[in-house]
Structure 1
Amino acid sequence: MISRPPAVPPPAPDASSPTPERLKKQKAASLVLYSGLVLLALWVVRDFIVAVAWAGVVAIALWPLLHRVAGSRWFKGRMTLLAAVFTVVIALLVLLPVGLGVAQALHEARELSDWFRGVQESGIALPGFVERLPFGAQQIAAWWQANLAQPLRDSAAIKGLHSGTVMTLGRHFGARAVHAAMVFGFTLVTLFVIVQAGPRLSGSLLKAVRRGFGESGANLVQHMATAVRGTVAGLVVVGLGEGLLLGVAYFVTGLPHAALLGFVTAIAAMLPFCAPITFGLAALWLLAQGSVAGAIGLAVFGSIVVFVAEHFVRPVLIGNSTRLPFLLVLFGILGGAETFGLLGIFIGPALMTVLMVLWTDLVQ
């Protein structure tokens, strides 16, 4: 008979090998550690999050254009050159209008200073159109005579202009201007890095999202990018259209510097419901000059243009690209602006897109 070898006893369990319960605790501890480190990193770079967000919005909005340009024979394989050219173009598009506006303001500052010194000595004469008003002319004339027609050098308002409050406001404005310049500079640097990374960056992001959240998460991110791109297109196109139409109206009504006013109106019109401020001030200036018909015509024409653009054209442009209803587009823009400031104009519709995608998945 063939004898069987003695049975080998199973190895004793190693006390150092992790048990399933220990593995669960380790995963939970790792999750807490990673979350804490991520939150700490975000807190460290909190002052630069706005710059990164702005750079991301610009890159997402112009990503299709960048993809086409990168495939041309001039920039193929030269992502650093493309990033440099693209960043310089964006910087010029922002800095040139601001520089022109500052130069024009400095040019007008001397005339404004002379006018201010004159009204300090002699007051402000009652505009002629006040006497032709159908009602309230006597009350307005009496108030004007008591407050503005007399020399203003001794008035409380003029004395307040020389107080410490104005100095405080000036320092606050200067600090905000320096902060905005720093954010703009870091935005350009971040934009250069994003464009230089090119498709590798977008591919890595989508790969990470797929690993963490699956294919549905990747689709959601793509929908959000489409929402940001559509919002930028809607704001810019509508703003330029409003600025062009109202610029023509400024020229027809005889306003000085109609082209500059049209450009300022276009910039203001890119923000929801800000265009009425510009053409409203222009209409008041015409009214003060005695052009009642021009002021009324500009106010009516501007109101019609803004109403059509804000309530029909802009929601259609944004809603068609994101497939969002008009109400969600409007709430997203206004609510985002109120919550996150100017950057929220682009974040709001993206978040509304997330809600729409989740709702669609639930009802299907």
Structure 2
Amino acid sequence: MAEPVAGAEPLPRQMRARLILALALLALGIWITHSFLPALIWAAVLAIAFMPLYERAVHRWPRFRKGAVLPAIFTLGIGLLVVIPVGLGLFRAIAEIRDLTSWFYLVRETGIPVPRWLYSLPIERDAAVTWWQQHLTTPEATQAELARFDQRRLLMHSQQIGKVLIHSSVIFAFTLIALFFVLRDSSLLVGQMRAASNRLFGPSGERIGRQVIQSVRGTIDGLVLVGLGEGAVMAVAYVLLGVPHPILLGIATAIAAMIPFGAAVMFEIAAFALLTQDSVTGAILVNVIGFAVVGIADHFIRPVLIGGATRLPFLWVLIGILGGVETLGLLGLFVGPATMAVLVMLWREFVERKSAPLVVEA
């Protein structure tokens, strides 16, 4: 009978110790970096989205393959794509806040006359006009209504908005830093991830990776590009119908349109702005054009772009988008559909796998 070698540790015990150590270090790493995980995921999403264009640039200028010039140019360009529209929107929003403040001071002194469109309401016209006359027509009534706003609560909300903007700016800056390194070391990262997935999951690992990439790119085509298209169409409609600040509202519509049915909120705001100008016909046309654009985009274009890229029924795409937004915010637009696409792929592989034949021994 063989004697155990002195000092030799049983292999299962070593494996358990390594697994416990690895899990503990992984948990510690997630705990340390959890505040920056959204930035890292955003960097991965942006890298997946722009990688085909980046690879074309690398093939076009091969001397920049290993340098930092091309990744820096791409990172700067992607950053400007976000900073310029957001900066213009914030600049315009500050101007709007100033105009709104001046309007508040004016109506406190003069009151708000009954708009003409209120007399055109098909139902409850007299009740609406009477309420307006009692609560907003005279300076005293207007001041009483404006006094309902709690200044402390408004100040608290303003401070919270400021904190959110500062935090978002920090996350965005770190996202760009991470994106630079992901682009610069993309070949090395892809090779390492492929080797790790093959070691952990076998052939299924690479299929999962391809499905995630296709899902992210399909979601970008179906949400971002279609949303920008909706915003452009509605911006033209806003200009033609005389909506105030049509370009700014068109940009806001494009951003809101990235979430299914989100554009409806923006063109309803545009319709209300037209009503305040006594343009009932314009308000109706904004609604007609808006619902037609949203209907075509959400029921025909998006299912083809997203579902075709991921082989995912649009119901699950919609659940992934809405559930992802509710859970992860804007990042959930891309993480949600990618997660659902991988789950549906694994489910199909499971149910389509042939069972091993049952062998009955005599």
Shared fold (TM-score, shorter chain, > 0.5):
yes
The aligned residue for residue 65 of structure 1 is 53
The aligned residue for residue 204 of structure 1 is 192
The aligned residue for residue 327 of structure 2 is 339
Structure 1 window deviating more from structure 2 (82-91 vs 249-258): it is 249-258
Distance in structure 1 (CA, Å) of the matches to 2:191 and 2:280: 60
Distance in structure 2 (CA, Å) of the matches to 1:285 and 1:13: 86
Structure 1 window deviating more from structure 2 (176-185 vs 161-170): it is 161-170
2:293 pairs with 1:299: no
Q: Deviations over 1:140-198 (max 9, x none)?
A: 01111122112258745533546321221111111111111111111111111101112
Partner secondary structure for residue 259 of structure 2: coil
Change (3 A) 1:260 1:13: closer
Structure 1 window deviating more from structure 2 (39-48 vs 93-102): it is 93-102
After superposition, residues 1-364 of structure 1 pair within 5 angstroms as: 13-18=4-9, 22-73=10-61, 76-151=64-139, 155-161=143-149, 163-364=151-352
State whether residues 320 and 339 of structure 2, in contact with CA within 8 Å, keep that contact through their aligned partners in structure 1.
yes
Distance in structure 1 (CA, Å) of the matches to 2:274 and 2:3: 96
Unaligned runs of 5+ residues in structure 1 are: 1-9
Partner secondary structure for residue 45 of structure 1: helix
Distance in structure 1 (CA, Å) of the matches to 2:206 and 2:313: 23
Structure 1 residue identity aligned to 2:78: I
Q: Deviations over 1:67-113 (max 9, x none)?
A: 11111126542441111101111111111111112222333444333
Structure 2 residue identity aligned to 1:266: A
Distance in structure 2 (CA, Å) of the matches to 1:108 and 1:215: 56
The aligned residue for residue 4 of structure 1 is none
Distance in structure 1 (CA, Å) of the matches to 2:246 and 2:55: 37
Distance in structure 2 (CA, Å) of the matches to 1:168 and 1:250: 34
Structure 2 residue identity aligned to 1:147: H
Distance in structure 1 (CA, Å) of the matches to 2:63 and 2:133: 68
Change (3 A) 1:212 1:189: same
Q: Normalising by structure 1, what TM-score?
A: 0.91
CA RMSD of aligned residues (A): 1.9
Unaligned runs of 5+ residues in structure 2 are: 353-362
Structure 2 residue identity aligned to 1:47: S
Q: Deviations over 1:43-77 (max 9, x none)?
A: 01110001001111111111111111111126542
Structure 2 residue identity aligned to 1:186: F
Structure 2 residue identity aligned to 1:262: G
State whether residues 253 and 266 of structure 2, in contact with CA within 8 Å, keep that contact through their aligned partners in structure 1.
yes
Structure 1 window deviating more from structure 2 (308-317 vs 101-110): it is 101-110
Distance in structure 1 (CA, Å) of the matches to 2:7 and 2:66: 53
Distance in structure 1 (CA, Å) of the matches to 2:171 and 2:113: 45
Query: Based on CA coordinates, which of the two structures has the bigger radius of gyration?
Result: 1
Change (3 A) 1:102 1:340: closer
Q: Deviations over 1:198-253 (max 9, x none)?
A: 21111111111111211111211221111111111211211111011111211121
Distance in structure 1 (CA, Å) of the matches to 2:4 and 2:252: 77
Distance in structure 1 (CA, Å) of the matches to 2:162 and 2:92: 19
State whether residues 56 and 191 of structure 1, in contact with CA within 8 Å, keep that contact through their aligned partners in structure 2.
yes
State whether residues 112 and 142 of structure 2, in contact with CA within 8 Å, keep that contact through their aligned partners in structure 1.
no
Partner secondary structure for residue 126 of structure 1: coil
Distance in structure 2 (CA, Å) of the matches to 1:341 and 1:217: 27
Distance in structure 2 (CA, Å) of the matches to 1:357 and 1:135: 52
Change (3 A) 1:171 1:160: farther
Task: Count the aligned residue pairs.
Answer: 352
